[in-house]
Structure 1
Amino acid sequence: MTTRYNPPPNWPRPPAGWTPPAGWTPDPAWGPPPPQWQLWVDEEIPLFGARGKARELAAENGELQKKLTAWHAEATKLQGQLNQRQGELTQLRGEHDRLQSEMRRLGQMAAFELEQYRDRLTQQTAELEQRVGALSQQVVVTEETVLLQEVGVYEYRHPLTDAVAYQGKLATFQDRIKAMAMKDGGAVQADTRWTVSGSEAKGRAMIRDYSKLVLRAYNAEADNLVRGLKPYKVDSAIERLNKVAETIARLGKSMDIQISNDYHRLRRKELELTADYLAKVAEEKEREREEKARLREERKVQQEIERERARLEKERQHYANALAALRAKGDAEGVAQMEERLAEVEAAAEAVDYRAANVRAGYVYVISNIGAFGEHMVKIGMTRRLDPLDRVRELSDASVPFNFDVHALFFSEDAVGIETQMHARLADRRVNLVNQRREFFHVTPQEAKTHLLALTGNLLQYDEVPEALEYRQSVTSARVEPVSGTSSATPGDGPNA
């Protein structure tokens, strides 16, 4: 039998076949149903509809059977998982019972001490690693760094002749460092009179493991300092390494563990020797570069002299042939003129030979580049070129935005001496205090002229105001172009940008 919804007579009639959904409640405005009114009544199946209703109920029963089978399968699966978890729980309980039995065997007090030591070591290790990380990022400004920036002088702590000598010295120190870092080599000092669970062997093992840990942290910091060392930052590196050693000693105080003084001293000297070695390598490279530059310049001078000699010899031969022809003709006036020209050529050839033999002879020049360096900087140098402007043109290459302007260019039999004296007079005005071949000075052309006059006595020509044609045209263009609308440049976008 099935039931159907039976609305009271005083309620609205629902549509045919309508059944109240789950959670449905009647509208209070409808009023209460009559007393003892049944909202659900049995529904009789008519005779002629019995077979259809039976088929409908059979189909519904089949669906319910499928759902019941699925629920049984899910329940079986869940039961399997439950059994697995219960097995794991049983295994864990067995492990727990075993550990408890082991603790009872060792004794409650010994286990408590071991746990304390473990916690203490873990905390100290974390503090040590945090401190080492902070030290790695810390920048220590030292007096030596400031000194180098101000005067550009590196002071060797272990003066040796060359980089090879420093390599040998470093190798010796590094061998000693490796020997001390080995087991029982003396790199770490520690009190081995510790016991764990009443066992001295376990206490020694614990101290040994902790010693390895602190030595590894110390060596990691020392190795990083060596790898990234700059010669002028050696004091900063040593100070950082000192702080690492102090931190290890402070954190290991409760167990009397610290880096030994001998090992720390070796690693400090390693830093000093590494800085000296790097400085010496840089010095030798710079010296080699300067020597190559000097040899290149010397080759250019020799090539120029050879070309000039060949040209003069060709002229001399030409004039000599012409002189012989004039003499054969008996042209006295022509002979006199040709002899005069030949004498000039021979005098020029002698001058070239003199320049080739006298390495101190040459041209002293004073040049500037206001577009690149401003109005208060000049370059003072000398060249042995027969055409000194070739040297000036070489300096005005792609490395500067504008050509150099020449203020003074004069020949001297002692050009080297005049150049040296000019550099000595302006030593405190040097731009590059490290590389003496960088011949730039913080002086104006007028100041340079005063010193040159004091050394030479007279100057045939000296241009105090530089022409700076390209620079001045660039400045003018930068001011004019925004007005015409052909460029987005501004006056600030000049050649110094």
Structure 2
Amino acid sequence: MEKEMLQNDIEELKNIKQSLQMDIIELDDKILFQNFGVYQPQYNFATLDEYKEKLDDIRNQQKEMIKSHTAAICNTAWKVQGSEKAGKKMIAENIQQALRNFNIECDLCISKVKFSNYDNSKERIFRAFELQNKLNATNDIHIVDEYYKLKIKELDLAYEYQKKKQEEKEELRRKREELREAEKVAREIEEKRKELEKEQEHYQNYLKKINEQIEVEQSEERKQYLISKKEELDNNVHDVHLALEDLDYREANHRAGYVYIISNIGAFGENIFKIGMTRRLEPEERIAELSGASVPFKFDIHAMIFSDDAPKLEAALHNHFADKKVNLVNGRKEFFNVTLEEIKKVVRDNHDKTVDFVNVPDAEQYRESLMIRKNLNAN
């Protein structure tokens, strides 16, 4: 019986040890993140409204503490010239001044908080808390820990609120960009359809005339020429028909498109690739847009891969290289620090082994700029 009890105690101690080890690992991770300046979100709400509601709640808690005289307290019943009433008035004025000074410093920190100054803002609030308590120690007045902690919670929420606000702005910008892109694709398809239908009508009219001429033509030599011309036109009509069918497919299938692999060594250096997708009929136009005034040199195309499910292929590449992202904070940025050989392998594993890649980018203007600079330096 005693042996069983000892065995149970041993098992319980093992469980406690395992639990404590997990706590230590979790704490070590938090300390590691803090040492590297990585902010650990305290709330992670899904929407701005949730942050606003929580902010209002915390501010209301602060107001209630001030109204109920529990934000700062005095443990001594002071008298002024023997008057308790005057003593209470003095205490109330000193408490009001202490809270006012503390709140002003907190509001300044909270209103300007961002990632680069979060730790400093937190430290400033703590120093303001300590300073007011030190200045009022003679009167036995101090701001309570609970009120200080509410200010830290407000700081955390304000920072996360600003971050969420920026995320929602970027999401809205992304959706607008997607809408503009979809509108461009729709216009492109419509223009191409009109062009093909006009071409089809031209061939059919010409074919009709050829058929009429064949029926009445007496010269065998001329007739053979017209028949060969008719075969050529039949092929043209067939090609246009296939092109229209492809257009119908692209219009109906919103996931069909091109995944592009591009680089800009003049702007970003070697082994930095942008992996994105477009539904444009002429995908090079999208690359030309990306090569606008915001970058010093145009992008070079290493691969342009058509896929019936372009988002799936793009996601496979993004997920595979998630730890190689240049920007590890903003997931919408599509630049990766990888080699072209790594990209080739993932594309061939997930899509098609026959995709052609351009190994060496032209980077024409960049290389010309290097030559010009070299000559200028030589002179």
What TM-score does the superposition give when structure 2 sets the normalisation length?
Answer: 0.81
- Count of residues in Structure 1 that have an aligned counterpart in Structure 2: 338
Return 5+ residue gaps in structure 1 as ranges: 1-140, 149-153, 485-497
Does structure 2 conserve the Cα–Cα contact (< 8 Å) formed by 1:144 and 1:235? no
In structure 2, the partner of 1:372 is 267
Greater than 6 Å deviation, 4+ residue runs: none
Alignment partner of 1:146 out of 36, 40, 56: 36
Counterparts of 1:409 and 1:159, CA distance in 2: 38
Letter in 1 for 2:113: L
Kept in 2: contact 1:142–1:236 (CA 8 A): no
Superposed CA deviations along residues 212-243 of structure 1, whole A, max 9, x for unmatched, are: 22111111111112111126755653443234
CA distance in 2, matches of 1:433, 1:300: 30
Question: Aligned match of 2:363 in 447, 468, 471?
Answer: 468
Q: Which amino acid aligns with 1:201?
A: K
1:1-400 correspondence to structure 2 within 5 Å? 143-144=33-34, 146=36, 148=38, 156-182=41-67, 185-230=69-114, 234=118, 236-330=120-214, 331-400=226-295
What residue in structure 2 maps to residue 453 of structure 1? 348
Q: For the residues of structure 1 that align with 2:188 and 2:35, how far apart are their CA atoms?
A: 45
1: CA distance between counterparts of 2:187 and 2:113?
A: 44
User: How much identity, in percent, do the aligned residues show?
Assistant: 39
CA contact (8 A) 1:362 1:382 kept: yes
What is the alpha-carbon distance in structure 2 between the residues aligned to residue 155 and residue 210 of structure 1? 37
Q: Distance in 2 between matches of 1:468 and 1:276?
A: 41
Any idea what the Cα deviations from partners look like across 1:433-468, whole Å, max 9, x if unmatched?
222221110113333223323333423521111111
Q: Quick check: 1:170–1:273 contact (8 Å CA) kept in 2?
A: yes
**Separation in structure 2 between the aligned mates of residue 203 and residue 347 of structure 1, nearest angstrom:** 95
Aligned-residue offset at 1:167: 2.2
For structure 1, which segment, 395-404 or 433-442, has the greater mean C-alpha deviation from structure 2 after superposition?
433-442
Structure 1 residue 406 displacement after superposition: 1.1
Could you tell me which residue of structure 1 aligns to residue 10 of structure 2? none
- State the shift of 1:385 in Å: 0.8
The alignment's TM-score, normalised by the length of structure 1, stands at: 0.63
User: CA contact under 8 A between 2:326 and 2:335: conserved in structure 1?
Assistant: yes
Q: Provide the residue aligned with 1:32 in structure 2.
A: none
Gaps of 5+ in 2: 1-30, 215-225
Q: Secondary structure at the match of 2:36?
A: helix
Shift of 1:198: 2.9
Asked if 1:426 is matched to 2:324, the reply is no
Larger radius of gyration between Structure 1 and Structure 2? 1
Q: Secondary structure at the match of 2:228?
A: helix
Superposition deviation, residue 145 in structure 1: 8.2
2 CA distance for matches of 1:435 and 1:307? 36
Q: Which moved more, 1:201-210 or 1:436-445?
A: 201-210
Of structures 1 and 2, the one scoring higher in RCO (CA 8 A, sep 6+) is 2
2: CA distance between counterparts of 1:219 and 1:406?
56
Pairwise CA distance, 1:469:
1.0
Q: 1:147 to 1:235 in 2, by over 3 A?
A: closer
| Distance in 2 separating the partners of 1:316 and 1:327 | 16
Q: Secondary structure at the match of 1:379?
A: strand
Q: C-alpha root-mean-square deviation of aligned residues, in Å?
A: 2.4
The one-letter code of the counterpart of 1:406 is: I
Hey, which of these two has a bigger chunk of helix by percent?
Answer: 2
Q: 1:162 and 1:178, CA in 2 relative to 1: closer, same or farther beyond 3 A? A: same
Q: Which AA in structure 1 matches 2:264?
A: N
